[in-house]
Structure 1
Amino acid sequence: MCIPNFLTPFHMFGQVFMAVEVPHYCNTNWIDAIDSNLTEKEKLNLTIPKHADGSYEECRMYTPVSEDIDSIRDYGINSTENCKEGWVYPTDPKPTLLTEFNLVCDRKDLNDFGQSIYMGGLLAGALVFGPISDRIGSRNMILLTMLIMGSFGVGTAFSPNYYVYIALRFLVGSSFAGASNVTVSEWVGPSYRHLAQIITHLANALGQMAIAGLGYGLRNWRWLQIAGSAPMFLLFFYIWVLPQSARWLVTKGRTEEAKNLLRKAASVNKRTVPEEMLDQLAAEKKVKSGNILDLARKPHLRKMTLVMLWVWFVDSMVYYGLSLHVGDFGVDIYLTQLIFGAVELPSRFSCIFLLEWIGRKKCQALWLLLGGVMCLIIPIIPKGWPVAVTVLAVIGKSALAASFTTSYVYSAELFPTVVRQTSLGLCSMATRVAGIISPLIGLLDKYHPAVPMVIFGTTAVIGGLLCFLLPEMRGKELQDGTGNDSQVRGDSVSTFF
């Protein structure tokens, strides 16, 4: 699972490097019909207004006139209007989303809206693929979503316009819900469960660092899209090597298949499993199937579900709110992305020890509180201190990354096996709703620069406080059922690990 986790960050953050802000101004070729011998500088001086600092305005031009060139030179043009014939990008010869689809001026918000639509795909996938995964198993769902991600990811590079681009991105986003790490949690026992999840998240952080190098080396957005998507096809061999969850097979009554997988796992690890221990699986009754209504009916599940929905919502909204605006902190975007990915390594790695040392609940709460406080401090830093703002953003993002890692480990332990995929699908749905909202919150800075960070910080602090309502799961066995029989099968399956 580390390999796909290394590849998936591209789809989440790659657009940041496909729409990097570049200088631009209105296309004013209308003046060529009056005098085609003007130099570029003369042409700009006669047709583009200037800011107070002497730079050309990006989104306004002088209204075209039919007068002769001498009259224009002598008297100028008094009226201005928005760009009518597109824009010119003098310093960027490589095609990007911004330059090819003109995502500037009155079309600038389309970039954030496009990212929100992509997150909408993640929401749709959470609604569809979560419950389906409970039925067909995480292995089959992972294989299917990897195929979807690779196919539509490469197809996106051939988009003829921005609307086709965001439609294909929606389909790519929908596949994320099926690329779950639940299999990792279900294949190991309590003492290694958090370690397995964290290792896959470290691979995700490395993937974020790789995006900085890939985006720096490939400035053509179509080649960048292909380079970030095509490697998924190299994982076709997962059909033969990716195992189904033995725990899931047991809950579905497919005990013999589970036994064979447990024997194979033992063989790979140079261990043996006593047959009398395997026979214990066949002697137990099948756990009653659970459904989404159990999460609402049973008080303890309802409380855990509501709190974890908010935690995942905040994790996503603040994490992506910081990640998708790496160019707004005043430091080089490629360097910032590299740092953003690098700081996640120690923060996620520290969870290996902290989750066992102080427990899941305290870790979840403290990470959210730290990230929220950083976001609340950022608005009070003077604008002339970009390094200080970047440092605070880095600390906040690393805290939210650790919180995300803790959420995956914690949630997989809180919910019983029979509703685990469904509950995680709901949590994923909350994450995707937050992902849709997060880019839109960034647009609120036009009213006041502090608004987005205040929203991010406040919601994170509330999430941290709510975590103290949850039970501690450190060292406890996974539950399989939602009632009194919930521990029966969990204890016996975990014995094998």
Structure 2
Amino acid sequence: MAFEELLDKVGGLGKFQILQMALILPSLMIVVCHSLLENFTAAVPGHRCWVHILDNATVSDNDTGILSPDVLLRLSIPVDSNLKPEKCRRFLHPQWQLLHLNGTFPNMTDLDTEPCVDGWVYDHSLFSSTIVTEWDLVCDQPSQKPLIQSLVMVGILVGGLIYGHLSDRWLVESSRWLIITNKPDEGLKELKMVAQRNGMKNVEETLNLEGLRATMQEELETAQTRTTIFDLFRTPNLRKRIYLLSFVRFAITLPFFGIIVNLQHFGSNIFLFQVIFGALTISVRCLALYPLNNVGRRPTEIFFLFLVGLSILINMFVPQDMQTLRVILASVGIGCVAASHTCFTVHQSELLPTIVRAKAAGLDLLANRCAAALAPLLMTLVVYLPTLPWIIYGMCPIIAAPVLLLLPETRNLPLPDTIQDVENNKKFSRTVNEKDLYIKVTKF
């Protein structure tokens, strides 16, 4: 609780903290936009086989220029069970006898067909060009699109590992971290700067090196030992938390990216879906704070995770032509998974000690990006069972929900500063006054 007392002296939640949040939001928005781009750059437009009598620029030898394109299409492309032109097959030869059927459709299985050996014709009314149309990633190459999407996510993972490490040289560290890592002079300097930005007067009287050392004596003694990433796994309680938190983060991220990179699965108007999902994500993340602070971390997360899984699994049984219901269920899923992210981030920060929180955040990022890379790759499983990827997306959060019961509830509890705080259950389970909750618990 010592550092929370120092934060109270420099103004609590003031102009400085609000400015920090305002400055970091644009960068986070840009990163998310890159993840969502795959819905548009890798969109699969309507397509069919290229046929000579319909798509050749010159009039064919059979003098079919007097026939309409719809008739020529009927003669050249078989129809599927929904009476729509097949996307991956064409007749071996034009079926002229179909001209005399007066709107009826024969059994197409008796007619000779072949794959699209001359390429495809794409519907460019919505997208002028995508990687699918450029590289013909359709029909016999269904696994190529999710593979490319997965590689994009792997690139984000590698970039995060490299540039996240490099950023430690340039970014200003928090005063809490500076003090804990035995840099009290620098930490005191940052605290005074925060106090000045927050408009606090006469801070020199209350903020000095002697007072700081007296207030955080135990934390400074612990800081004499330099920590590494291996310290996350040396003690039993912290090791258990790291494993469980990594699993839950993976289980939350997998369905999130499974939904947002496959918007076409829910309908053709992905622009509208993007607006709906974006507005819903923002609103639900804010609304999730109410049950998080009044009900608790664990029950709120468990509730949202169950809703994520159920909405995805139920959506598998909704027919494709019931677009409204499918979008509603997908909206419930994306909203609840966004709320789960918010709840989990708060819970995770309150479970990890300050001295290794940054290192634990690196592992959390690894679990997050591994799930993001795997999510589109699971779509390659549709060749075995069309619903198999969605079964995995739906079951992961349902399995992760009861795992949260193995982690302690942290509502109304102080943040742990050292590894010993995590191992010492008596100290960590100490309660705080309700009037001090806002300042002492939420500043991390």
Q: Give the TM-score normalised by the residue count of structure 1.
A: 0.67
Q: Which residue of 1 aligns with 2:117?
A: 84
Q: Which residue of 2 aligns with 1:11?
A: 34
1:244 pairs with 173, 194, 201, which one? Answer: 173
1:269 pairs with 193, 198, 213, which one? Answer: 198
SS of the residue aligned with 2:420? Answer: coil
Alignment of 1:345-494 (within 5 A): 345-483=282-420
Alignment of 1:69-80 (within 5 A): 79-80=112-113
Q: Where does the alignment leave 5 or more consecutive residues of structure 1 unmatched?
A: 65-70, 141-242
Q: Which residue of 2 aligns with 1:238?
A: none
Q: Which residue of 2 aligns with 1:321?
A: 258
Mapped contact 2:149–2:377 kept (Cα < 8 A):
no
2:131 pairs with 73, 91, 97, which one? Answer: 97
Between Structure 1 and Structure 2, the one with more helix by share is: 1
> Is 1:59 equivalent to 2:88 in the alignment?
yes
Mapped contact 1:324–1:439 kept (Cα < 8 A):
yes
The structure-2 alpha-carbon separation of the partners of 1:271 and 1:36, relative to structure 1 and needing over 3 Å to count, comes to farther
In 1: Cα distance, 2:206 partner to 2:124 partner: 73
Q: How many residues align?
A: 382
Q: Amino acid of the residue matched to residue 277 of structure 1?
A: L
With 339-348 and 268-277 compared, the bigger mean Cα shift is at 268-277
Mapped contact 1:131–1:421 kept (Cα < 8 A):
no
Q: Amino acid of the residue matched to residue 60 of structure 1?
A: R
Q: Where does the alignment leave 5 or more consecutive residues of structure 2 unmatched?
A: 1-23, 100-109, 433-438
In 1: Cα distance, 2:403 partner to 2:249 partner: 12
Q: Amino acid of the residue matched to residue 270 of structure 1?
A: G
Q: After superposition, what is the alpha-carbon deviation per residue over 1:5-42, rounded to whole angstroms, capped at 9, x for unaligned?
A: 22222111111022333222233459769649754837
Q: Which residue of 1 aligns with 2:49?
A: 26
Q: Amino acid of the residue matched to residue 13 of structure 1?
A: L
2:208 pairs with 254, 275, 278, which one? Answer: 278
How many percent of aligned residue pairs carry the same amino acid? Answer: 30
Q: After superposition, what is the alpha-carbon deviation per residue over 1:50-80, rounded to whole angstroms, capped at 9, x for unaligned?
A: 445554322224558xxxxxx9968999754
The structure-2 alpha-carbon separation of the partners of 1:350 and 1:449, relative to structure 1 and needing over 3 Å to count, comes to same
1:118 deviates by: 1.8
In 1: Cα distance, 2:318 partner to 2:132 partner: 30
Which of 1 and 2 has greater Rg?
2
In 1: Cα distance, 2:329 partner to 2:30 partner: 27
Mapped contact 1:26–1:86 kept (Cα < 8 A):
yes
In 1: Cα distance, 2:192 partner to 2:85 partner: 71
SS of the residue aligned with 1:25? Answer: strand
In 1: Cα distance, 2:52 partner to 2:145 partner: 27
The structure-2 alpha-carbon separation of the partners of 1:91 and 1:456, relative to structure 1 and needing over 3 Å to count, comes to closer
Mapped contact 1:48–1:56 kept (Cα < 8 A):
yes
Q: Which residue of 1 aligns with 2:140?
A: 106
Q: Give the TM-score normalised by the residue count of structure 2.
A: 0.74
The structure-2 alpha-carbon separation of the partners of 1:294 and 1:53, relative to structure 1 and needing over 3 Å to count, comes to closer
In 2: Cα distance, 1:110 partner to 1:61 partner: 23
Supply the RMSD in Å over aligned alpha carbons.
3.6
The structure-2 alpha-carbon separation of the partners of 1:354 and 1:254, relative to structure 1 and needing over 3 Å to count, comes to same
Q: Amino acid of the residue matched to residue 45 of structure 2?
A: V
The structure-2 alpha-carbon separation of the partners of 1:43 and 1:386, relative to structure 1 and needing over 3 Å to count, comes to closer
Mapped contact 1:379–1:453 kept (Cα < 8 A):
yes
In 2: Cα distance, 1:37 partner to 1:451 partner: 48
Q: Amino acid of the residue matched to residue 290 of structure 1?
A: T
1:349 deviates by: 0.8
Q: Which residue of 2 aligns with 1:258?
A: 187
